Amino acid sequence: MNQVQNFTKGFLKENPILVMVLGACPALATTSSMINGLGMGLATTFVLLGSNTVVSLMKNLIPDKVRIPAFIVVIATFVTIVDLVMNAFVPSLYEALGIFIPLIVVNCIVLGRAEAFASKNTVWSSVVDGAGMGLGFTAALGVLGAIREILGSGAIGGFKFISGDGILVFILAPGAFIALGYMIAIVKKINKA
């Protein structure tokens, strides 16, 4: 598979949240606004890029018996970096995302890509895969957050453009399920075409 196909598969064909339904918990919990969705997606993308790179570099050095624990230590290192940087430079986003930042360590997307791709491919291929999957995840979370924010409060990025209240259910958890369900259906239809 060439590098362009490897990169773009994370957007529609193998999107982590819209096709594989991995990382659904943070996707549903953190997308009450577009900014929160983008922040969570970019944090996950950083962890994916870093962990895929290190796992690919170390794949021949890690014994099979400790492969998964070693991957988790690598992932936890990058999550700690994200956690500290976000706390220092974007404290409002850090507080909004809360416990879901440290939970990136156990996100199936990150560990799955380390195990299924980075541990079997070159460093460059692993970086491209991490970028594609991470940015696809970020785009899905950003769109999901935007849909929920627009329908739920008549605003986008904190800018209110519809007077009055929105449809409250879209700010709440059921709205996340409804919006994500429609997004998954649309992507499934596009992938079948």
pLDDT at 161: 86
Share the mean pLDDT of the chain.
93
CA distances, 121 to each of 45, 67, 116, 130, 179 (Å): 18, 15, 9, 12, 35
Give percent of the chain above pLDDT 90: 84
Tokens of 38: 């983008």
What is the per-residue pLDDT across 159-186, written as a single tens digit (0 to 9) for each? 888 888 889 899 998 999 999 999 999 9
DSSP assigned state of 20: S
Please report which confidence band the pLDDT of residue 134 belongs to, taking 50, 70 and 90 as the band edges: very high
pLDDT on residue 2:
81
pLDDT of residue 144: 97
How far is Cα 53 from Cα 178, in angstroms, rounded to an integer? 35
Strand partners, 156: 159
Domain range annotation of the chain: 26-147
pLDDT digits (tens, 9 = 90+) for 146-155: 999 999 999 9
Which amino acid does the sequence have at 176? A
- Residue for token pair 């500290």: 84
Other CB atoms within a 10 A radius of the CB of residue 154 amount to 16
Q: What is the pLDDT of residues 25-44, one digit of tens each?
A: 888 999 999 999 999 999 99
**Is 158 a residue whose pLDDT tops 90?**
no
Indicate whether 68 pLDDT > 90.
yes
At residue 1, does pLDDT exceed 80?
no
54-76 burial string, b = 16+ CB within 10 Å, else e? bbbeebeebeeeeeeebbbebbb
